[in-house]
């Protein structure tokens, strides 16, 4: 994906990406043979994310989520499932740390290409109440990886 130079264009593109994932969530549904199901709630916003994973050795072999809530929480979950599928725990931890830094306002990672479409959520850092929305699915993922230990 090539980005436009104009920051207003980038903001519009990011907004479009978020809405696209919100309207057409990737990897939404349930897994028949899930190894773990983690339910996360964000009562402040009413967001719900139920994450299901199938482990494959040290990797996440498959992942799906179901849920409802604001566009930030659901788009973040959708983008997350896309980027972690098939990845090792180590790679996932690296992305998770960078994404957390991004939504906490660390602009040094805002141009990190390894974050892919997740960079669209960088604007969340300006709205502290929305950070919990953005991190909901990631907290579920953290539990899923902890369970595996």
Q: How far is the CB of 87 from Zn ion (least distance, A)?
A: 25
Nearer to Zn ion (CB atom), residue 60 or residue 133:
133
Q: Which is nearer to Zn ion, 60 or 118 (CB)?
A: 118
Q: Smallest distance, Å, CB 135 to Zn ion?
A: 10
> Which of 47, 50 has the CB closer to Zn ion?
47
Rounded least distance, CB 54 to Zn ion, Å = 27
Residues of this chain that bind Zn ion (CB under 5 A): 45, 47, 70, 73, 133
Cα distances (angstroms) measured from residue 112 to each of 4, 9, 106: 16, 18, 11
Q: Which is nearer to Zn ion, 73 or 81 (CB)?
A: 73
Residue 29 φ/ψ region, left for φ over 0, alpha for ψ in the -120 to 50 degree band, beta for the rest: left
Q: In this structure, are residues 76 and 19 in contact, taking their beta carbons and an 8 Å threshold?
A: no
Q: How far is 66 from 88, CA to CA, in rounded Å?
A: 22
Query: Residue 148 CB, nearest distance to Zn ion (Å)?
Result: 27
């Amino acid at each position: 994906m090539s980005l436009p130079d104009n920051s207003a264009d980038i903001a519009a593109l990011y907004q479009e990406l978020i809405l696209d994932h919100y309207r057409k969530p990737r990897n939404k549904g349930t897994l028949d043979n899930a190894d773990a199901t983690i339910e996360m709630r964000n009562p402040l916003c009413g967001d719900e994310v139920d994450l299901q994973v199938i482990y494959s050795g040290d990797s996440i072999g498959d992942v799906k989520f179901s849920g409802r809530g604001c566009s930030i929480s659901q788009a973040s979950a959708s983008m997350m499932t896309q980027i972690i599928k098939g990845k090792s725990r180590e790679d996932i931890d690296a992305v998770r740390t960078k994404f957390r830094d991004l939504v906490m306002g660390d602009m040094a990672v805002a141009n990190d290409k390894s974050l892919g479409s997740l960079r669209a959520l960088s604007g969340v850092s300006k709205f502290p109440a929305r950070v919990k929305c953005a991190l909901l699915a990631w907290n579920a993922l953290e539990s899923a990886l902890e369970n595996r230990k």
